[in-house]
Amino acid sequence: MFRSTIRINFFNLKFTNSSRRWYSSPLCHYGLCIDVDGVLIKGSNIIPETKPALQFLNGRNSLNKKIPFILLTNGGGITEEKKAQQLSKMLDFPIKSCQIVLAHSPMKELVPIYYDAEILIVGGKNDNCRIVAENYGFKKVVLPSDILAWNPSIWPFSEVREDDLRWIRKRNFSNVKIEAVMVFHDSRNWGRDLQITLDVLRSKEGYVDTLASQSDLITRRIPLFFSNPDIIWSNDFPSPRLAQGSFRLALENLFEKTTGLKLKYELFGKPELVTYNYAQKMLVNYANELTGNHLLNRKIYAVGDNPRSDIVGANRYGWNSILVKTGVFQGEEIESQYSANHVADNILHAVKWMFHKEEGLL
């Protein structure tokens, strides 16, 4: 059955059917992935060049061309829908959830494996990451606070607040077999979360109140996943802050010191290729929705402020990398392995350089 749809208004004439699309905005053969923290915002402050850069991408340029872009961040802790709403309000610019790739977004691909398994989700505020995980399709999500409420002696230096009881799911965890640990976001309580994560990883078959022998740990490990490798990140404090990667380093050291074994884990987030595979799929889909054009890999640009994650990841994946000086990177000398294709003062200079390069205006 052939079906066509016609939408008409005075500002954006568009005809679509099952095989072709016509757009009033000129087709764009390139696209952009933009980091958030240190590129668009710093903490609660908007970087001054952000709004004009977004308007430029939205067609306020010499060719009236809309340039498809997504936001690719190692941040997270909330759903993509909520992040899009937050940024839209903060930036006074419409951002769709399909333009958001958070650190844990690609971890949706773990759902077919663990959808019905008990999994420990670490990080984030209150039960926000449980909401995210359940939104992805994980059915049995445990938080460290649930385990602490069951047995406070597991980490006697923290107390369960009365207000927390609204969302804590208290159970007898002696009977709960945890089959995987996923760190979705930055820990709000390093001591508690390190202790409970260690307990699960060193347990016998995932029962938190047991302790496996070293030989058991050699033959069988609880799978461990991290959503963000970054050691540091940039907010409105003058110097960078510790990020999830620092939590991982602490966990690695503690696991090795207490077991004599190396910690095994899998990484998501920038600069991991699994994240760039996912981000490219999202950008190509959005570009097709916006302009009807499928992007080629070599025509994707990435703007970031962290040479070790944003730039390394983009370079590894064959994207065109642009490093800005508004976040972690401040213009200092960096090793060649972290070098970008281009260095710009800010996001506006970055998008203009990309535009002029692709349109033959340099």
Tens of pLDDT, residues 320-338:
999 999 999 998 888 888 8
Name the nearest CA neighbour of 39 among 341, 239, 306. Answer: 306
Name the nearest CA neighbour of 137 among 90, 92, 104, 160. Answer: 104
Low-confidence ranges of the chain (pLDDT < 70): 1-25, 293-298
Q: What are phi and psi of 253, to 5 degrees?
A: -65, -45
Gap between the Cα atoms of 39 and 328, Å rounded? 9
All structural domains of the chain with their residue ranges: 4-103+272-358, 105-267
What was the pLDDT predicted at 336? 85
What was the pLDDT predicted at 348? 99
Three-class secondary structure of residue 259 per DSSP: helix
Please name the fold of domain 105-267.
Rossmann fold (3.40.50)
Q: Assign domain 4-103+272-358 to its CATH architecture.
A: 3-Layer(aba) Sandwich (3.40)
pTM: 0.89
Tens of pLDDT, residues 133-173:
999 999 999 999 999 999 999 999 999 999 999 999 999 99
What was the pLDDT predicted at 294? 67
Alpha-carbon dihedral angle through residues 96, 100, 104, 105, given to the nearest 10 degrees: 70
Gap between the Cα atoms of 21 and 98, Å rounded? 20
